[in-house]
Amino acid sequence: MDVLVQLILNGILLGSMYAIISVGLTLIFGIVRVVNFAHGEFLMVGMYAVYLLGTHLGLNPYVSIVPVVILLFVLGALVQRFIIQPLLGADEHIQIFATVGLSTALVNLALLVFGADLYSLTVPSARQAISVGGNTMLVGQIVMFICAVVLVAGLHFFMQTTALGRAIRATAQNRNAALLMGVRVDRVYVFTFGLGAACVGLASALLIPLYPVTPTIGTYFVLTAFVVVVLGGMRSIYGAFAGAMIIGIVDSLSGYYIAPDLKEVVYFAIFILILIFKPTGLFGFGRGTE
Amino acid sequence: MRLFVKVALATGLALGASQASAQQAVKVGALYPFSGGLALLGDESFRGLEIAVEERNAAGGLNGKKIELVRGDAVDPNQAVGEARRLTSVEKVSAIFGTYSSSLAIAATQVAQLAGVPYFELGAISDPITERGLKYVFRTNPTSKDFANRMVDSVVEAVAPALNLDPKTLKIGIIHEDSLYGQTVSAFQQTRAKEKGLNLVETLPYSAKSVDLTPVILRLKSAGVDVVLQTSYQNDTVLFFRQMKDQGFKPKAVIGAGGGYSTRDTAQAVGNENIEGALNVDFPQYRTNPQAAPGIDEFVKKYQAKYGIAPRSGHSLTNYMGANVFLDAMAASKDLKADTIRESLLKVDVPLGKTATGWGVKFDEKGQNTRVSPFLMQWQGGELVTVFPPEAAVAKLKTGVGSN
């Protein structure tokens, strides 16, 4: 019983990590309609940035959130403006190849600059374990959970109440209609891509105390993030949050009760089942919106 | 006509000159990953070979001929095949030395075998390299089976005595990443544990890309595992040590299979106080008793003088030791034909403790050196020191892991 509680807690904390990454991917995937294969590499870039700020300027990773979120926003916006936008009219395979190419280029750039070694930043405060009724959690994990909830709530507020948020939702629902209503769709795309990348910037600052950074760190998280996005219904940030929690808990429980190397089998099986019975994902908008 | 004669003369002279230099030099290939993700340790391995060759040249070369190293850069198995072809057909080398990585070695050895060129493996540990019956493939270093056996035997011969416990009372847990490396080593471990009558309670494979090993740790913890045998890369080693601490799991000993356990990066990421006491089975490192490994100190001095830094890992040493064995055999075979080299290699007989790595040399019919085994080391005070076997040890084995 003790183990079960610990496993569920652990799953929720793991889920909040996936949630922050997946919410960013949902924005790009669901609104700009680009399958961003370089999402994991954005995470890697963010983590190196946090690492450098930490070692050279002595910034605490939680302070680095501000500059790194801005940096990643700019990076995302630039990628959309100069790589994706010229290809918007082209076949979507071409856009996929562009992001795959970007991902490979970024990994190799990191290999060139930092080598294959792993770098880690020691943040004792974030690695402090808190014990609640015999169950342990790390401060860093709890911060991650709070950030995930605040991020989803913040994005909800932004999307519902601001003019830009409405423009984004309009663009997502029908690009041409939005264009006719005077929405500058290309600018919305640039902003949304930047926003998606900025979420990864937040994630990278929160991950640094828990994971060392290597050039391939992005691949550890991004496949799961894609599953979460599709599970959540592609375009819904609440869906992404719920999907991330499901994957996190399933990951944690099946790793213990079945076998650690079979946990992917379990969550992909659940993923396929959900797609069979609800092809639009948990929070999908119905058929045709894919 | 005159012009023709001149050209012909010039060509003839040039040909003659190149033939003359070919007679004075023996070309040997050095096939390692010099670029890409494996480059750091590939290059470190090459340095051992380079020092051995320079030593030999300074002492007059191979029967009076200078040895010329021709590099081949093998980033992946495809390129290993391409470079091995170039070395054997274009450069016409007398032998190839390599390779550090097993997948590269498996690919390149086949090319060399077809060309009838001897292939000397100095660092890759995958067993099949010398088990496929390739006649001209020889290996000086231990295989993954030797690693697995040393890990299991350490429980019986080193860990249990240090704890003053009967090894059969210890609960053993095997955890490993689930690619070829982890699968191979753990399969050998399971067989060996059964042979030794040990109490194996858990065998848990996991993906090296896991971002959470808590389920693995909780399984070990609920099973009451005393000794963990882990076969892992860097990231999963770091994750395991961090989460082991978070979950308050305190085994009596943790033994790694080289890989992620051997690098200073891992120790730094985990924190020296947390990795303190972790055991590791690997190629000999530099903190080995020089009496069991004659020449180790001289090698380190030469390395320092040539590259200006301390050796970055034990790879250069194992390559240096192996290169010397093969260069001796080449010197003993006057015509440098593959068959004569094979004959002289099969005659080599060096007892244990007489080389710079502390190993002996005796090749079996398959070309595998049988007088080798990796050593047991331990992280003590931020350094990896040899603790077993006793003749190679520089420190006593300590019990307990981390600050627990």
Q: B403 pLDDT exceeds 70?
A: no
For the record, the structure tokens of A178 come out as 């939005």
Closest CB to A259: pick one of B204, B213, B235. Answer: B204
DSSP for A192-249, please give it.
HHHHHHHHHHHHHHHHTTTS-B-TTHHHHHHHHHHHHHHHTTSS-HHHHHHHHHHHHH
Q: What are B342-357's pLDDT values in tens digits? A: 999 999 999 998 999 9
Nearest C-alpha in B relative to A14: B212
Of A118, A129, A260, the CB nearest to B206: A260
Q: State pLDDT tens for residues A44-57.
A: 999 999 999 999 99
pLDDT band of A237, cuts 50, 70, 90 = confident
Specify the DSSP element, H or E, that contains B256. Answer: strand B253-256
CA distances from B157 to B147, B154, B388, B389 (A): 15, 5, 9, 9
Tell me what the pLDDT averaged over chain B comes to: 89
Q: Is residue A285 part of a domain?
A: no
Mean pLDDT, residues A223-240 taken together = 87
Compute the nearest-CA separation of A156 from chain B (Å): 28
Nearest by CB to residue A252, choosing from B209, B212, B271, is B212
B132 vs A279, higher pLDDT: B132
What CA–CA distances, in Å, run from B180 to B143, B256, B340?
A: 14, 16, 35
Q: What does DSSP assign to residue B173?
A: E
The answer to whether residue B340 neighbours chain A at the CB level (below 8 Å) is no
* Confidence check: pLDDT of B362 > 90: yes
Domain around A104: 2-277
ipTM of the complex: 0.86
Q: What is the dihedral of CA B46, B48, B53, B56, to 10 degrees?
A: 180
Inter-chain residue contact A214 with B215, CB threshold 8 Å: no
Check B215 against A122: CB less than 8 A apart: no
Q: Is A260's CB within 8 Å of B210's CB?
A: yes
| Rounded Cα gap, residues B301 and A5, in angstroms | 56
Record: contact A211-B210, CB cut-off 8 A: no
pLDDT of B6 reads 52
**Contacts with A102 (C-beta within 8 Å, 6 or more apart), sequence order:** A37, A38, A41, A79, A83
pLDDT at A131 over 90: no
On whether any CB of chain A is under 8 Å from the CB of B396, the answer is no
Task: Pick the range with the lowest mean pLDDT from A80-94, A202-216, B115-129.
Answer: A80-94
Mean pLDDT along residues B140-145: 94
Regarding predicted confidence, which is higher, A223 or B378?
B378
**Measured between CB atoms, which of A115, A259, A263 is closest to B40?**
A115
- Within a domain: A253: yes
A255 reaches B (C-beta below 8 A): yes
Tell whether A176 is within 8 A of chain B (Cβ): no
Please give the domain boundaries of chain B with CATH numbers for all domains: 2-142+293-347 (3.40.50.2300), 145-282+375-392 (3.40.50.2300)
Q: With bands split at pLDDT 50, 70 and 90, how would you rate the model's confidence at A1?
A: low
Q: With beta carbons under 8 A apart, name residues in chain A contacting B271.
A: 122
Min CA distance, B176 vs chain A (Å)?
Answer: 10
Q: Tell which A residues from 151 to 170 touch B, by Cβ distance under 8 Å.
A: none
Residue closest to B50 by CA, chosen among B348, B327, B335: B327
CB contact under 8 A, B215 and A252: yes
Q: Is some CB atom of chain B closer than 8 A to the CB atom of A214?
A: yes
Examine the pLDDT at B22 and tell me if it is beyond 60: no
pLDDT band at B20 (very low <50, low <70, confident <90, very high): very low
Say whether A3 and B222 touch across the interface (CB within 8 A).
Answer: yes
CATH assignment at residue A271? 1.10.3470
Q: Is residue A283 part of a domain?
A: no
Answer whether B215 sits within 8 Å of A7, measured CB to CB: yes
Is residue A59 one of the residues assigned to a domain?
A: yes
State how far the Cα of B96 lies from the Cα of B86, in Å rounded to an integer. 11
Distant-in-sequence, close-in-space partners of A4: CB < 8 Å, separation ≥ 6: none
Confidence of residue A232 (pLDDT cuts 50, 70, 90): confident
What integer is the mean pLDDT of A1-28? 91
Least confident of A119-123, A284-288, B156-160: A284-288
The whole-angstrom distance between B224's CA and the closest CA on chain A is 14
Q: Which of A73-77, B7-11, B14-18, B33-37 has the highest mean pLDDT?
A: A73-77
Q: Which residues of A129-164 are buried (b: 16+ CB within 10 A; e: fewer)?
A: eeeeeebbbbbbbebbbebbeebbeebeeebeeeee
pLDDT of residue A32: 87
Residues of B numbered 238-257 whose beta carbons fall under 8 angstroms of chain A's beta carbons: which are they? 238-239, 242, 246-248
Q: How many domains are contained in chain A?
A: 1
Minimal CA separation from B205 to chain A, in Å: 5
pLDDT at residue B17 tops 70: no
Which chain A residues are closer than 8 Å to B204 by Cβ? 259-261
d(CA A20, CA A12): 13
Q: Considering the domain boundaries, does residue A282 fall inside one?
A: no
Q: What's the one-letter identity of residue B307? A: Y
- Residue written as tokens 């370089």? A38
C-alpha B24/C-alpha B19 separation (Å) is 9
Q: What was the pLDDT predicted at B143?
A: 94
pLDDT of B13 over the 80 cut: no
**Is pLDDT of B226 > 80?**
yes
On chain B, the residues whose CB falls within 8 A of the CB of A122 are 271
